[in-house]
Amino acid sequence: MENKQTMYAAIAVIAIVVIAGGGYFYMQNQQKGQAKEALAARWDEWSKTLYMGTTSTDFHPGINMGKGYMNSLAKHLSGTKLFWVDRTNGDAYNPVVGETWDLKQDADGLYYVEFKLKEGLTFRDGTPINAAAVKYCWEQELLEMPNREQNRETYHIYGHEVSWGKKSKGLFVIDDLTLHMYTNPGWPNYPPVWLCFLMSLDHSFIYSPTSTNEWALEANPVDDFINQVGWGPAYLEDWVEGERIVMLKNEDYPVNPLGPEAGPSNMEHLDKIVVSHYGDAASQRMALKAGTIDTTLGKGLARADVPDMRKDPDINTVFVPGVGAQQNLHMNFAPEFAPLNIREVRQAIQWIVDPTEIVDKLMFNTATVAHSMVRPFQFYFKPVLQPIRDTPMAQRIEKAKELLTAAGYPDGFETQFWYPAGRGEEFSRDVGTILQAQFAKAGITLELKFIERGTFFDMARAGELPMFLRGWTYDYYDPDTEIFYQMHSSSVDLAQRISFNVPEIDAMLEEARNTYMAAKGAGAYPSGDMTLEARRDQIYTYLQDYIIDEGFSVPLYYDGFWDAHNSWVKDYNPWMTCDKPWQGVWQISKEIPADWETTEPPV
């Protein structure tokens, strides 16, 4: 009996142990399952949050305020436009809230653009997106914001003035879906200018007048501006000055029927974008390598770091060539700066300047050598300086000396290269030092002149500098964007600064502008009058040849834009058609690694 009781007791103990053990393993498995679910949730959140880094500090929470990289990104995500420049075709402007545009003339012969808007669209606060809203935003940017004491913004003045501005009859609301914009009477029938400034740069975003009147006027505290609403793939949710901005997905924003490369589209793979500020490029590079950020924003990497980053198998470095500033060396044609006013002297300088040395030593191949003032992807590009650059340097030096001898300066001469203090000062000095050594090979003594920034630009505008650098931004595909502003005698940007005034060239540039629409036709350029198209080709080819024939200037290089992102970032396609290549983040997705169960997300 006692043995049976002992046996039963033993069985009971074993049963308890088995049950307890089973319960323990059950609890363990359940906890593991819960932990796995929690980890999966963290990876899911990580995959739907884009972490970006920037060294830019300038940020204002208003949709139409600020000029830094963070503001530019926020505008492109939260504001809207009538039309949007295509990612790959710079001559195509795709509908967003606009439906169509037509260039017309009124009874007095004045040119205006008739914009037709899409029906039924509203801003995030329910305010209708209509012609009155467009007029409100554009007039505010031009007429009201520049005159404020606080929350002042003057950045948009030029864009609106060259498009319609104070010299035209202005903007007229015809009905809810029709707006008439009288074009700038200076060049009333040349759309590339206003298409660029109103549809592809950081100007003329459209936002809710209702929210603006309540939260985003001169008297409002800066923090109020976060309540200003637009209509885009995302909206500003949080802002910590000097640290970060947070943007959330606009769930109601539609998928672009033309595709995400035609303009803003629903962020199908992202719920949130966090842009963090880093004090310097080195800190941002470390954050990228550690996975703390997924991608940089707007040249966040130092130029010197780009070659190494290109070799990193875990980092994708994206380089967009030619859309940054084009840097040229300009010479003054005025007789007081002789012998720079002699053609052969300017040609000699073209022969001895070697931009490749600048690109290699100072740009770390983040720029490309410029063989024309027109960019390689623009219409009518002709690399007129390439034959010179392909000539061995010893022969180039001899050619330069021959030209100087023909000009009456067999022993060379002395001249000056001026550059300003402040931003870019060290770089300009380094460029000047390289030029100094190159000039010396032909017997030219180049003195470097350094001066206070404001004084430098005052002297440049007054035509008082013999030789200087000038950067040219890329605005639109037509070569007019480069050549007109350098060669037309009315240009305060250059021609008047270097005493350049050739009536025949003015006439050709004006002819090319005035025939653009007829050559363009109804479709993509050129699909109109082929005779006029051939004439425009002839004009721009001649003007590029003129650079060599008359020694007009020395094109040095086209700067690029570069970003770097971790290998898990997918579908990042930079805009190739304007100088805002980082705008299309609505396309991006993030790939969760295959071994996600064994590691935590990097953020």
Q: Is the pLDDT of residue 8 over 80?
A: no
Residue 7: pLDDT band (50, 70, 90) is low
Q: pLDDT of 551-571, one tens digit each?
A: 999 999 999 988 999 999 999
Residue 9: what pLDDT?
Answer: 60
Tens-place pLDDT, residues 375-388 = 999 999 999 999 99
Strand, helix or coil for residue 400: helix
- List the chain domain ranges: 46-77+232-319+562-603, 80-217, 326-559
Judge if 46-77+232-319+562-603 and 326-559 fold alike in CATH terms.
no
Q: What is the pLDDT of residues 176-189, one digit of tens each?
A: 999 999 999 989 99
Confidence of residue 254 (pLDDT cuts 50, 70, 90): very high
Pick 46-77+232-319+562-603's CATH classification: 3.40.190.10, 3.30.365.10, 3.30.1370.10, 3.40.50.170: 3.40.190.10
With 0-12 CB in 10 A as exposed, 13-18 as middle and 19+ as buried, what is 18? exposed
First to last CA, the chain: 67
Q: In b/e form, how buried is each residue of 179-189, taking b as 16+ CB within 10 angstroms? A: bbbbbbeebbe
- pLDDT for residue 25: 60
CA 563 – CA 316 distance, rounded (Å): 8
SS3 content of the chain, % helix, strand, coil (to 5): 40, 20, 40
pLDDT one-digit tens code per residue, 25-47: 655 666 677 889 999 999 999 99
Query: At residue 21, does pLDDT exceed 70?
Result: no
What's the confidence (pLDDT) of residue 26? 56
| Residue 10 predicted with pLDDT over 90 | no
pLDDT for the residue 521? 86
Q: Are 410 and 404 in contact (CB under 8 A)?
A: yes
Q: What's the pLDDT band for 20 if we cut at 50, 70, 90?
A: low
- Judge whether 348 and 440 are in contact, CB under 8 Å: no
Q: What is the pLDDT of residue 12?
A: 56
Cα separation of 463 and 66, whole Å? 31
Query: So what's the pLDDT on residue 577?
Result: 82
Closest CA to 448 of 472, 420, 413: 420
Which letter, b or e, does each residue of 122-140 get, where b requires 16 or more Cβ atoms within 10 Å of its Cβ? ebbeebbbbbebbbbbbeb
Q: How confident is the model at residue 358 (pLDDT cuts 50, 70, 90)?
A: very high
Q: pLDDT category, 23, cuts 50, 70, 90?
A: low
Question: 3-state class of 181 per DSSP?
Answer: strand
Fold of 80-217: Dipeptide-binding Protein; domain 1 (3.90.76)
What percentage of the chain reaches a pLDDT higher than 90? 82
The pLDDT of 477-488, averaged and rounded, is 95
**Mean per-residue pLDDT over the chain, rounded:** 93
Q: Are the C-beta atoms of 303 and 296 separated by less than 8 Å?
A: no
Q: Annotate 467-479 with three-state secondary structure.
A: EEEEEECCCCCCC
Does the pLDDT at position 11 exceed 70?
Answer: no
| Mean pLDDT on 327-342 | 98
| pTM, two decimal places | 0.89
What CATH number belongs to 326-559?
A: 3.10.105.10
* Distance between CA atoms of residues 516 and 519, nearest Å: 5
- State the Cα–Cα distance between residues 195 and 553, nearest whole angstrom: 29
